[in-house]
Every structure is written in C-alpha cells, then in structure tokens.
Amino acid sequence: MPRLALTSNYATAYAVKMCDVDVIPVYPITPQTTIAEKLSEFVANGELDAEIIHVESEHSALSACVGAAAAGARVFTATCSQGLMLAYELLPIMSGLRLPVVMAVPCRALSAPISIHGDYIDLMVARDAGWIILISSCAQEVFDNIIQAYKIAEHRDVLLPVMVAYDGFLMSHTIEPVEVPDDENIVREFVPKKREWLYLDVDKPVTMGPLAGPDWYYEIRFQQVPAMKNAYKIVKEVAEEFYKKFGRKYDTIELYRAEDAEYLMIGYGAVWGFIQEAVDRLREKGISIGGMRIRLLRPLPVEDIANALKDRKGFIVIDKCLITGMPVGPVFSDITTALKLCNIDTPGISAVHGVGQRTMYIRDFVDLAEKCIETFKSGKIPRESIYLGLRT
Amino acid sequence: MTMLPKWYEIPLGGALTEPGSTRKVKTGEWRTFRPVIDQDKCIRCRICWAYCPEGAIREVDREYVTSKGVKYPVTYEIDYYYCKGCGICAEECPVKAITLVREYEK
Amino acid sequence: MSSRQEISIRWHGRGGQGAVTAAQVVATCAIMKGLYAQAFPEFGPERRGAPVKAYTRLSTRPIRHREPIVSPDYLVILDPSLLELPATLEGARDDTILVVNCPEPPEVVKSRKFGKVVYIDATDVAMKTIGRPIVNTAILGALLRVLDLITLDDILKSLEKFFSGKLLEVNRKAVVEAYNLAKVI
C-alpha cells in the first residue's frame, strides 16, 4: 500500500473520496478548512463524483446534510468549534431522524476569549447529541476511522451519525505518513452503498420528522438507546473486519504496556503519543505504569474501561479541555461513572492539559504521573482537577 | 395508552410510512360552529374554496339554478368530516352567503 | 523513542518565505522514501513578515508524539535578521548544525559553538532562479549538504508533490544551485 505524506485533514479528504461520498455540504472554519479545500479540489478534478454544497453557515451545512441523507445520499461534512456550536441544533435532529451522516471534527477551543487553537471543549459540549464519537490519535487512524465510520453509521442495526474527532492543528495540520490503498475499489467494497435507512422516495412516500406528542416522543427517542448499544458491538465488528482487510487493529480503547501496570495514564487524541513516550520514560525509572486511550467516546465502552482499570492502584485522566461547574474533566467523569456502574473502586485523578493548545511536553506527563503516584500512596485523592502548566 | 405501539413497533425516528395518514383524522368533531352555504346567495366566486385551510370545501360538478334563474355549472359543498368550524369561509365570503350555525342547532 | 534515534529540524523564517512548506517538503520526501517523518508549523494566525517557526522530525521508527522541537539537531534560518531574536537560537546545542541564509559567515559563529555551519546567499539564488525572494527551496539545497537520510535526488523528486510546470523547474534549479554554492564550515 503506498504511503502518502498527509495531514489529518488531508487524510480525512482522501478517505471521504475513497468512500465515494455523494453530497458534501460544508462551510469553512479554522482548522477544518483544508478538508473542504481538498475535497473541492477532488470534485473539481473529477476524482470524486460528489455534489459540494457551498452554504452560508454551519447551521445550513448540517441542515443540508439532513436533507441529503434523508434523500438517501451518502453524506459528509466537517466543522468544529464555533461552527459546531452554531450547527448544534441539527445534531440531535440528525440522530433523531437516524441519518447516517459522517462528520470530521478537528477539535478547537471555544470563544471567549477567541482562540483558533486545538482543544476538545467543542467535542465535549457536543458529546451527548446522540452521535457516535470516535477520537483518532494519528493521521493514519483518521483515514481509517472515516472509512469505518460509514460502515458503522450505515449498519442497519445502528443508523446513527458519527463524528470522527481529532486534535485541531496538532493533528489537522501535521504531516505524517498515511498508508492509502492505490485502488479505491478496495475501500468501496469495504463500505458498499446498501442504503438501508428510511429515505424519501416518491414511489414509497414517507413523512420524516413529524410532531410527536407525549404519547409518542418517549418511545421514538428511546429507539436510540438500543441503537447505541448495537453501535458498541458494531464498532468492534467493523474494527475486526477492517483489520482483516487492511491489517490495522482498532478497538474501543487501546492499552500500552498495561499488562502488569499498577497505574494507568489515560488520554485521547494526540495526547496518546505523549502518554506512550512518558510511559516509556517512567518504565525506565522502574515505575509500574501503562497507558490507555479512549477511541470510542460514544457509546461509552463502560465494561471495556472497567476491565482495563480493575485491580489497578490508580489512574490519571488527562482531559485536553477546561469545563467549569464540574470539578473534574469530562472524560474523567465518564470513566468514573463507568467504574461505579461496574463496582470498581480504583482511585482516579483528573488532570487538565493543552487547553487552547498550551504547549505540551512529554516531561509534563512524566512529572504528573510521578506526582499522582505519590498522591495515590498518601490516599489523599484531590476532589478537583490538577491544572497542568497554569501560571499561578 | 395500552393500544399504542411499543417502541420497537414504531418506524425508526417516528417516520410515518403510510402516506396520507391524516385523512383518517376526523377533525369535523372539533367544531362548535358549522358553516352553512346559502346556495341561492352564493355567486360561485371560489373564494371560500381558496381560503379554507383544511381543503374542506369541495367544488362539485352539479348544476344549480337560483330562484332568480341564474344558472351555475358547479356547486360548493362543505365536507363536514374535516371542517373544523374555523369560520374563515364565512369571514371571506363577499356576499355573506355562508353563515355559522351552532352545532347543536341542527 | 529518544531524540538520539531521530533527526530534528527547526525552521525559522518570516511569513511568506516558505518555512512551513520547506518543513513539509523534507518530511514528505522522507515518507516517500519509506522513512517516518512529521512536519508541523508553530500554529498561529498567518501574517506575511511575522516570524514563523516550523518543525520536521525524521526517523527510522514511527514518531508518536508531537512535541515542539526544543533542542534541534538542525537549525535552519531563512532570514538572517532572525538571528538577532533570542528565540531563534533557543535550545541550540554545541553540536547543532546551523544552516543560514547569509552571504557570509554569520556574526554569531564568532561568539558560540555549533556542530557545523552552512551559509548561502539564498535570497540571491532565489532571485536568480525563481525571480522572487521566496528562499525556502534554496535553503533546502544548503541543508542537503549536511543532512543525513535524505539525498539531493530525493528532494528533487518530492518537489513534484508541491510544484508543477515552470514553478517545479525553477524551484529544482534553486535547490541544485544552492546545494553547489553553499559553504560548510
């Protein structure tokens, strides 16, 4: 398989092209714009037979996605940050209408103050809108996740939209090697267009999105609960099939040097690389620590997380965003809920780093782990996040 | 309530898969007043037909001759199965040929 | 993986000189050769003339993290005026190789130690070949004199991914000319 030098945004565009997407409504926003640019280039060159809809806002982009997917098209869009917030209204509509749209989200901070830089607050604010969320950790995985996302979204037992998230700039604008099949038919065979969702058809008319009173709304919304449960299974199945075809392995979570580790350092997105490097350095010092990353954020793989964390002496979660009101990071909250549901009482510490793309160094993770292990030993677990690199 | 379908019996996303299902809804039961057309006064201008928000006024191919001998090729009739009694037709009629009668005054 | 098994290049230029593209050309070239590489700019709003930093890492093994390059093996400076900013030489070691766009050996060579110093009047080369003071491809040629893992031919080939037609031709010329004219001390 040829190796190309691609940013994660270009990896997204290549995957979208190979999945033979039909409609791309998109509005530019930093750091997403290069996806829209590359896809426009593919369409203009005739490399991709798709309709690019130039809209006047992200709200319109997502609205056009609803329409196009309701018409039975394979649809792609991408946005982040303020754009994602403006389009938020459409997120639960997409999941509520069960439309299998795939959206790339190169995550970026939210105003105010204005920041164009990488941060995961936009994704975390949007994580409960009924979309499946995959978080990628390198450009290769972004390429692979977009392809898997279509297979998951369009599976008849799922039929839910998928967000493929990754770090704005730190990944969206970093060139890395990406293996891309030279024959796009290999990808197209992997994600055949079966169109198993309910779509608008003049020969078989349907009404989509009617009013649902108190006697109906609950049952209709509840349909998403089993769909999300199925999604967990299908994410694993698709990863297995993907591995057989393309040779790269994925799961809901990923572990690194964790077999015998007393402690686990947990993150998502580009932080994963820093964690792996830090684990290596800590292991060299004789510290029993491993790494874990969340790939599937929604549906939350509760049991996989619990199994990975049981019988450990402690875990640290690094959230790359700052959420207030809750004293700990969003993914830390998710993980502690998963543990509580499974009756596991491994103590955890929440840490925040890389906010608004504050520079992260491997040594920050090494220092954090050493400090947290001392804290675990003392038994005095803090009840709020540790804020790394904050000028105090 | 027990007669309503269970969550897995409803099409995904609450879509209505049977076309024209609102035809079954008998909105005529909602009326307090019913519009009645005086066929003798009616000038067949079609305004009530155009304004009715429910499409409950029908243009029927039936000839009508008024007491003054004016001959019209069509007759307008109200479909009381759907008419909600909103009174828009009576309000809009330029010759006041439609009056609203209370439902119980048969 | 420690920095010993990697080659790190830090690029300093001004917005519009092409430092980011140069960083990407080297990484792309390495990836096309089957090596592992990474290139990213020091992200910020892009403004012509403002100081710009970019990073390239080359390795024979996968690169997992995305730390900025604090202590570069190669320091490539596209505009001699940048040598006066304290941030430019930050983290440079005694064995760091300095590649600089300068018609003569830069002043800084007298006051501190470097592994090697390569200097080239890249602006002159760019004006003569490309006709505009976009010095990134010329400085690439100078860097190739001292860079491991990547050869002149590799770079000439990978320029196809960034330029075509006349532009490809003149940029290739700029690389070769600078490669020949660069002085290594």
The CATH number of whichever domain residue B93 belongs to comes to: 3.30.70.20
A134 part of a folded domain: yes
Q: Is the domain of A174 the same as that of A302?
A: no
Q: Is the domain of A18 the same as that of A151?
A: yes
CB contact under 8 Å between B11 and A198, yes or no, is yes
Distance from CA of A125 to the nearest CA of C (A): 24
The tokens for A101 are 């749209």
The tokens for A187 are 């990808």
Count other Cβ atoms within 10 Å, centred on residue C166: 9
Domain total in chain C? 1
Q: Is the domain of A233 the same as that of A271?
A: no
Domain that holds residue A296: 254-387
Given this model, what pLDDT does residue A324 score? Answer: 95
CB contact under 8 Å between C40 and A270, yes or no, is no
Nearest CA in chain C to A115: C44
Given a cut of 90, whether residue C46 has pLDDT beyond it is: no
Chain B contact present for A205, CB below 8 A: yes
Q: Is the domain of A238 the same as that of A259?
A: no
Distance of CA A280 to CAs A284, A290, C55, Å? 6, 9, 23
Chain A contact present for C37, CB below 8 A: yes
Chain A contact present for B15, CB below 8 A: yes
Chain A contact present for B24, CB below 8 A: no
Chain C contact present for A265, CB below 8 A: no
C47 contacts in A (CB within 8 Å)?
A: none
A106 part of a folded domain: yes
**Cross-strand pairs, C148:** none
Chain A contact present for C4, CB below 8 A: no
For the stretch B21-31, pLDDT in tens is 888 889 999 99
B13 contacts in A (CB within 8 Å)?
A: 96-98, 198, 208-209, 220, 223
In A, residues 85-144, which contact C (CB 8 Å cutoff)? 116-118, 138
Given this model, what pLDDT does residue B105 score? Answer: 67
Domain total in chain B? 1
Given this model, what pLDDT does residue B21 score? Answer: 84
A226 contacts in B (CB within 8 Å)?
A: 8
Chain A contact present for C131, CB below 8 A: no
Given a cut of 70, whether residue C13 has pLDDT beyond it is: yes
User: How sure is the predictor about B1, in pLDDT bands with cuts at 50, 70 and 90?
Assistant: low
Given this model, what pLDDT does residue C2 score? Answer: 40
Nearest CA in chain C to A280: C1
Nearest CA in chain C to A363: C67
At which residue do the structure tokens 């209505």 appear? B16
B104 part of a folded domain: yes
Chain A contact present for B1, CB below 8 A: yes
B62 part of a folded domain: yes
Task: Say which of A169, A276, A362 has its CB closest to residue C43.
Answer: A169
Task: Give the amino acid at C53.
Answer: K
Separation of alpha carbons A308 and A325, rounded Å: 28
B21 contacts in A (CB within 8 Å)?
A: 207
Domain that holds residue B93: 41-106
Distance of CA B2 to CAs A211, A215, A236, B28, B51, Å? 20, 10, 37, 26, 39
At which residue do the structure tokens 């992997």 appear? A190
Residue where one domain finishes, among candidates A222, A246, A270: A246
Q: Is the domain of A161 the same as that of A136?
A: yes
The CATH number of whichever domain residue C48 belongs to comes to: 3.40.920.10
Pair C101, C135: CB distance under 8 Å: yes
Q: Is the domain of A216 the same as that of A275?
A: no
CB contact under 8 Å between C32 and A5, yes or no, is yes
Chain B contact present for A210, CB below 8 A: yes
Domain total in chain A? 2
Distance from CA of B77 to the nearest CA of A (A): 30
Chain C contact present for A3, CB below 8 A: yes
A392 part of a folded domain: no
Chain A contact present for B10, CB below 8 A: yes
Nearest CA in chain A to B14: A220
B2 part of a folded domain: no
Q: Is the domain of A358 the same as that of A289?
A: yes
C43 contacts in A (CB within 8 Å)?
A: 31, 117-118, 169, 173, 357
CB contact under 8 Å between A3 and C68, yes or no, is no
pTM above 0.80, yes or no: yes
CB contact under 8 Å between A277 and C24, yes or no, is no
- Indicate the average pLDDT of chain B: 93
Given this model, what pLDDT does residue C42 score? Answer: 87
Separation of alpha carbons A294 and A282, rounded Å: 21
**Cross-strand pairs, A163:** A103, A133
- All residue ranges of chain A with pLDDT < 50 are none
Domain that holds residue C45: 3-184
For the stretch B57-93, pLDDT in tens is 999 999 999 999 999 999 999 999 999 999 999 999 9
Given this model, what pLDDT does residue C50 score? Answer: 85
Given this model, what pLDDT does residue C16 score? Answer: 87
B28 part of a folded domain: no
A183 part of a folded domain: yes
Q: Which of A100, A231, A230 is nearest to A162 (CA)?
A: A100
**SS3 sequence of chain B:** CCCCCCHHHCCHHHCECCCCHHHHCCHHHHCCEEEEECCCCCCCCCHHHHHCCCCCEEEECCCEECCCCCEECCEEEECCCCCCCCCHHHHHCCCCCEEEEECCCC
Task: Give the amino acid at A180.
Answer: V
CB contact under 8 Å between A215 and B5, yes or no, is no
Q: Is the domain of A310 the same as that of A213?
A: no
Complex ipTM: 0.92
DSSP summary character for residue C96: P
Given this model, what pLDDT does residue C3 score? Answer: 44
In A, residues 154-183, which contact B (CB 8 Å cutoff)? 159
Separation of alpha carbons A312 and C182, rounded Å: 58
Given a cut of 80, whether residue C1 has pLDDT beyond it is: no
SS3 state of residue A181 = coil
Please say whether the dihedral angle defined by the alpha carbons of residues A42, C47, A166 and C23, taken in this order, is positive or negative: positive
Given this model, what pLDDT does residue C98 score? Answer: 97
Chain C contact present for A174, CB below 8 A: yes
For the stretch C144-154, pLDDT in tens is 999 989 999 99
For the stretch C58-84, pLDDT in tens is 999 999 999 999 999 999 999 999 999
A216 contacts in B (CB within 8 Å)?
A: 4, 10, 14
User: How sure is the predictor about C116, in pLDDT bands with cuts at 50, 70 and 90?
Assistant: very high
